[in-house]
Amino acid sequence: MSPDPALSISTLRARFTPSGPWIVDLPELTLAQGEQVLLTGGSGTGKSTLLHLIAGLLDPAEGRVNVAGRNIHALRGPARDHFRGRHIGMIFQTFNLLAGFSALENVMVALMFSDIPRAEHADRAAKLLAALGIERQDAPPEELSVGQQQRVAVARALACGPELVLADEPTASLDPENAAAAIELIQSACRSQNAALLCVSHDPSMQTRFARTLNLKDLRSPAASS
């Protein structure tokens, strides 16, 4: 693990059109190693856009995003992809598992970006899935329950031992009972690897599960509407 914060953001701004309003206007945000933070906000407040900026899937108009001490937007092309795969785990609302691939293969795909020797990928993926309670590792996602699919998604996010995990509305498609179990799974899995977790959600029931909860609206610069 890097001695630097898992995430450090400064003066980050982004908008969809050159003259449009700022969708993201974030003066600063820092997550320490292993810290878990919930970021709340209504629909259209830029939560998902912020995660895409942090992951380097979108480029900002201004500002800096450091992940494990490295400015992700200073990297280009394959170098950025490799860095993302090695240092950032991502958990999506719809899981984004690869159809036609087994649960084991879905996790092994993530390991392609790691520095772990290829000969060890299958064993590492199998152990991660087993630790998360997945017994049918040869089954494709469409043959697994929603809860099992989420466990596979969590295993994939943690496969490379990332410093930072980004979770985008990870319980939105689940009923309340399964949602509680899912976020407990995500949090405990991140704690087991000392990975920082930034979770965005508009679900108010999530707030009691995080020691630090921030509202994206409160973090915006006073000049965000300019």
Cite the DSSP H helix spans in 29-120: 47-54, 77-87, 103-111
Phi and psi based region of residue 54 (left: phi greater than 0; alpha: psi -120 to 50; beta: remaining): alpha
pLDDT in tens, 118-146: 999 999 999 999 999 999 999 999 999 98
Percent over 70 (pLDDT), the chain: 96
Percent over 90 (pLDDT), the chain: 74
Burial class of residue 225 in the structure, from the number of CB atoms within 10 Å of its CB (0-12 exposed, 13-18 middle, 19+ buried):
exposed
CATH of 33-57+78-219, one of 3.40.50.300, 2.40.50.140, 3.20.20.70, 3.90.650.10: 3.40.50.300
Which H or E run contains 153? helix 146-158
Q: For residues 150 and 182, is the Cβ–Cβ distance under 8 A?
A: yes
pLDDT in tens, 56-92: 999 999 999 999 999 999 999 999 999 999 999 999 8
Q: Which two tokens stand for residue 101?
A: 């691939």
pTM: 0.91
Whole-angstrom Cα distance, residue 2 to residue 26? Answer: 24
